[in-house]
Structures are given as structure tokens and as C-alpha cells.
Structure 1
Amino acid sequence: MLNVAEKWNLIPYNPAKRIEAPKAEVEQKTAYTEEQLGQFIKALESQPAKYKAMVYLALTGGLRREEILGLQWNHFNFENNTVKIEQAIFYTKKTGVIAKKTKNDRSTRLLTFPAYIVPVLKQHRAGQLSSRLQLGTKWEGAKEADDDFVFTQWSGKPMFPYTMNKWLSKFVEDNNLPKITPHIFRHMAATYLITAGHDIRTVSGKLGHSQTSTTMNIYSHLMEKTVAGNG
């Protein structure tokens, strides 16, 4: 008895299984030029400490947007200028805004940050503590101030992830700057590390990539330029 393939003169196997699928090209993201970044930072000085802190952490730490919004004050050590990344903020219609553990083991990491960020963070915290005191029992943050999220809504609840994008979009438009997203800040942080000569393992650890190959796939073109420039 003929099988289906023989009856209809079909090839009895899938030839596509023998073909190796082409790797998707990684989009090379466009960062600000040095001049544009200077204009951005200068304009940023007029913004609330809350948003300045967000941007500084993104640019210097290479944090994901959700990781920035997942920070609590107890994650910071201001004596050593370190911050522990161990959770991220997510939003769905079903759950609302919630905090979850970072996406993989390597995403949980301890990062150092420049000393110039400390006064900005402390200024923002002073404002948050003032709001907490004024709202009293209406404050919807943590029971203890140290457990509050660093970046919150007016009521103390954690921020919606897209709030950062919304603020950033309006900010660059108001200041006649090129469009940019929070994720590009992460890309820029990686770019600065690579061009400064840091090795791939250091960059990968800073970004919290699950494997160094992920970092290589995204930034191989920069690595090649750096090696060529040092040759």
C-alpha cells in the first residue's frame, strides 16, 4: 500500500531541514554624538532630580528601563557607591505594575556608580520623603522608607515602565534634540565601555547579559573598531 508521499508523488522528507537558517542581523542602534549628549546633559539640569537620576543611572550603569524602575533605596550603598540590581518592574493589564526578579542569574549584579550621582539621588530622596510625610496614611509605598521604590508615582506606587519613555519623548522634543529611548542609553553605556578598552566579559557583566556571546553579537562591530584602532 502506497503511503501518502508516494501516492501524490511528494518528496518523503522536508528538504528545508537540511538548510541552516540564516542568523538575523542585529540592528546597530544609533547613539547620540558627543555634541548631542552635551546638549542633552545641559538641558537635563533644569529637570527634577527624579529624572536626572534615572538618566544618570541608565547612562553610567547600562541598566534596562525595567531595572531602573525596580530599584529600591535599600539596594544602594552610598558609602561604597554601589547599587544591587536584583529585580525589575513589569506591567500587564492582568497584574498591573509588579516587581519580578531579573530575567536571568547574570542580570542580578552589583554595580558601581560615579560619585556625582549621589547628590542627585539624595536630592530626589529628600523630595520623596517630604511627599511621604505630607501624604501620611495616603502614601501607598512601603511601610519603611528604605523599602520604598526609588522612582514612584505621586502616591508612592512604583512607576509604569512607559512613563520614562513618555517623559523622555517630551523632553527631547522640547529641547530640539534627536529622538531617543531609554534602551539607547543602555547601548550608549556599552559603547563607552568598549571604546574605553574594557574587555567583553566586563561589558557583558555590566549589562547583565546571560552570555558573553550575546554582547558579542550586538557589539562585535565596535569591538573590531576598537581592536583596529589600537593596532
Structure 2
Amino acid sequence: MASIKDQGNGKYRVFICDGFKPDGRVNRTSKTIYAKSKKDAERQAQAMEVDFKRGQQIQPSNASTFSDLVDKWRESDRYDKEIVLKTRERYEGMLRNFMLPYFGRMKIRDIKALNIEQYLRTLSQDGVRTDGKPGGYSEKTIHDHYMLIQRLLNVAIHWEMLDVNPCIRVDTPKVHKQEAKYYEEDEIQRLLECLELECQETIAKFSCRYDKLSPDEAYRRQQVRIFNDLMHKMYIWLALASACRRSELIGLTVDKVDFVRNTITISQTGHYAPDKGLYFQNRLKNGDSTKVVDMPEAVMQELQAYLEERQKVFYLMGWEDSGYVFVSLSDGKVTQAGGPMLPDVISTWFTRFLEKYQLPKITLHQVRHTSISYLINKGVNIKMVADRAGHQNTRTTEEIYGHVYKKTQRATADEYNDLFTGKVSKED
């Protein structure tokens, strides 16, 4: 008898078994269907079971639809083991909003290069965006769609559901790389000055902010607010000095800070997803399990002072220590006070902070670009820069920061000016 699993939003998974095959394997099939109600799903399942037991497979491999392929892919080890959760979420958005409505009912063998090209063209049209923003999607997003289609059809070939991937006849969508935006050295200094001003401002304004509270409660709020500014300052210091990604600093724990060797060890990354909440992965973006980052002594001294203040605030507020360097300061739906910080919290603060002090607009990720560009401008060897950035090879560094290297090459050429203008001293 067919069994049905309700997957929500009118989607059901039907499972049908009928004895065993000659080779001893269970004679079983499954299919995702869409039904108006549970009763409608049961009716469809009964009809499917009759067809199956008559020897008429629901979808032979040579007649499988794109939707069937996606379902089988989701159930496979390829989906769970090869694709990290963050990427999986992005893929599911593409499938749900675009690919399944467009290709879902098409037989895999009927999907041609022309169909793929037409699909990609629709993504660039005005009004297609799910967020309501004007215009179509970016070159990178369209490229990502193409790569997912190619990946799925390659899986179909592996499973002998398809002979040739039509993507080979489709020109790979071009992505014109944008220069990585970053702060120059004078802008970095201004950023650091404003972080210090923010801390001083909080202390100065405290006396008139909490005058209606009891002395004890006012003191507690004051200390949390001061620590909040200190935490923001420490985050930017670490981001600038380590070139770490946001996810890497969110996942940083106190026990991974070594004040003897002046290093921090990144062994996990922190992420947020609406359906999963805050979660951590024991793998870095480049696939490594850990990354040890040598840190400047001045930054480590500041970090040591910060962790001492962190301990005082935890004791004062009675929070349970989660062990994370950067923490939440209030209870919420996702995390509690003293627990790990949500990634978007620090990003939202940074945007408002730049606006408040009228600093050039950059994203939090571009603080990482600033850190890496600073080293390049200082003439640090590209291999060392790539290692610090966590790039698997120097080619990645050169591609992302090529415009910075061009600037340093110009400066290198200018060093010859004195030689040819007679300004080189005899001692030189």
C-alpha cells in the first residue's frame, strides 16, 4: 500500500513498494506530488500505485522530469555531504522561485540549450526579482543559476538519466569583476579614531541617560552599554588585523586565543538561517579545518583588556558564559544574553556607525578587503598575503586584488624617477 508524507505547502511525497526485484532489491519507487488536500493526495497515490503494480513505472529514467531529478538529488548523499548549508539555502531559493516553475515539468531529455538560454535571459528582465527591486538580477546571480543547472544535469548524466549536458552548447554567462572596495591608510586611521570617540561618548552621556533608574540598575546598564562599544571596537580591530571573514570572527571562542604566541585560531564559522537559526560549521570557506593567524602585539594587548572587561560584565549580569569572544547582550528568539552574536547584528551596527561619523560607505566584508589591501600596499609578499587571506592559491588573491597590485606596480616604477633625474645621492 502507498504511504504519504506531508511536506507542507501542498507538497506530498508518495512511497510505493511491491515485493522484490529478481536481484533481491525492494521493488520501490517514490515521487513528489502536489495536491489540494490530504484526500486528494491519497487519491493520486492510489492511481499511481495501480500503475506501478501493472509494471508501468511512474517515470522511467529516460522520461524523468527536471522535478524528478531535483527530488532524487535532494535525497542523495551528494546533496547532504557535498553542499554546505549556506549554499544549499541559496540553491533552494533558485529552485523554488525560478527553476522548478520554469523547468519542473519538462522531461530532462527535452531540455535543450535554447531553453537554458531563454531561462537565463528572463533573469535579466525588469520585474523578475523576488525582492521587488527594479531591474533584473546581477551577472553573478545569473552565472550562479547557470552553474546550478549545469550541476544538476551533470548529476543526471552520472545517473544515466541523460547522455549529454546541453549546457556545453550554452555560453557561460560572463561576470565582470568589480574592484574590491577598501579604505586607504588615512581612512583606516579615521575609522579607528571614530571607534575611540564612540566609546568616550557613551561614558560622557551616561549621567543624563539613566537618571530615572535605581543606582544599581543604572550601573548595570552603563556597564553593558560601555562593553557594547568596546566589543564593536574590538571586532573592527580584529577584522583589520586578521583579515578574517565575519563568519570566522562570529565563531571565534576565547579558548582559541593564545597570548603566549600572539595568535588566534579559527576552527569554526558562524552563520544564520531563518529555518535553522544560528549554527556553526567546523569547516572554513576554503575547505580547511583550522587557520592560525599571527596577530600584532598591540592588538593582542587590546584583546586581553577586552576579555577582562567581558568577564566582569558576565559576572555583573549573571550571564552563562558561552565561550564566544563576541556575544549577544540581550535575550532574543535566536540567542540569549551571553550567547554568540548574530552575524547581522554587527553588520547593522557598522552601517549605522559609518553614517553617524560620515565615513565612506563600505560593507563589513570590505573591512577584510581593507586589511588585505593594506598588506599589498605595504609590499608584503603575495604568498604571505594569500595565506593570511585564507586563499587556496595566489591566483585568487591576484584576481580579487589585481587593481591594488596595479597601483603598487605604478609606485614601484616611480621609484626609478630619482635615478634618471639625477636626484640619487652618491652615498646611495
Asked if TM exceeds 0.5, the reply is yes
Matched, 1:160 2:342: yes
Selected match of 2:240 from 59, 75, 78: 59
Larger radius of gyration between Structure 1 and Structure 2: 2
CA deviation after TM superposition for structure 1 residue 163, in Å: 0.9
1:153, 1:45 → 2: CA distance?
21
1:35, 1:61 → 2: CA distance?
19
Write the mapping of 1:13-28 to structure 2, written as runs, cut at 5 A.
17=168, 21=172, 23-28=174-179
Write the mapping of 1:34-53 to structure 2, written as runs, cut at 5 A.
34-46=185-197, 47=199, 48-53=229-234
Q: Which residue number in structure 2 is paired with residue 205 of structure 1? A: 387
CA deviation after TM superposition for structure 1 residue 211, in Å: 3.2
Change (3 A) 1:21 1:199: farther
Write the mapping of 1:1-231 to structure 2, written as runs, cut at 5 A.
17=168, 21=172, 23-46=174-197, 47=199, 48-101=229-282, 102-106=284-288, 108-136=290-318, 139-142=319-322, 148-154=323-329, 155-231=337-413
CA deviation after TM superposition for structure 1 residue 61, in Å: 1.1
Cα deviation code 1:125-167 (max 9, x no counterpart): 122212322343xx3433xxxxx00000122110110111111
2:383, 2:289 → 1: CA distance?
14
Q: Which residue number in structure 2 is paired with residue 7 of structure 1? A: none
SS of 2:405 mapped into structure 1: helix
Please give the root-mean-square deviation of Cα atoms over the aligned residues, in Å.
Answer: 2.4
Change (3 A) 1:107 1:35: farther
Change (3 A) 1:22 1:220: farther
Q: Which residue number in structure 2 is paired with residue 9 of structure 1? A: none
Change (3 A) 1:59 1:172: same
| Kept after mapping to 2: 8 A contact 1:91/1:160 | yes
1:196, 1:44 → 2: CA distance?
24
Change (3 A) 1:16 1:103: closer
| Kept after mapping to 2: 8 A contact 1:108/1:208 | no
Q: Which residue number in structure 2 is paired with residue 145 of structure 1? A: none
TM-score (normalizing by structure 1): 0.82
TM-score (normalizing by structure 2): 0.46
Bigger shift: residues 221-230 or 211-220? 221-230
Bigger shift: residues 215-224 or 99-108? 99-108
CA deviation after TM superposition for structure 1 residue 70, in Å: 0.9
CA deviation after TM superposition for structure 1 residue 181, in Å: 1.5
CA deviation after TM superposition for structure 1 residue 203, in Å: 1.2
Cα deviation code 1:166-195 (max 9, x no counterpart): 111121111121222211111011111111
Question: Identical aligned pairs, as a percentage?
Answer: 31
Bigger shift: residues 127-136 or 214-223? 127-136
* Deviant stretches of 4+, over 4 Å: 13-16
Structure number with higher relative contact order (C-alpha < 8 Å, ≥ 6 residues apart) = 1
2:230, 2:302 → 1: CA distance?
6
| Kept after mapping to 1: 8 A contact 2:247/2:343 | yes
1:66, 1:172 → 2: CA distance?
21
Q: 2:395 is aligned with what amino acid?
A: S
CA deviation after TM superposition for structure 1 residue 88, in Å: 1.1
Give the number of equivalent residue pairs: 213
CA deviation after TM superposition for structure 1 residue 28, in Å: 0.6
Cα deviation code 1:39-69 (max 9, x no counterpart): 2211111332211111011111111011111
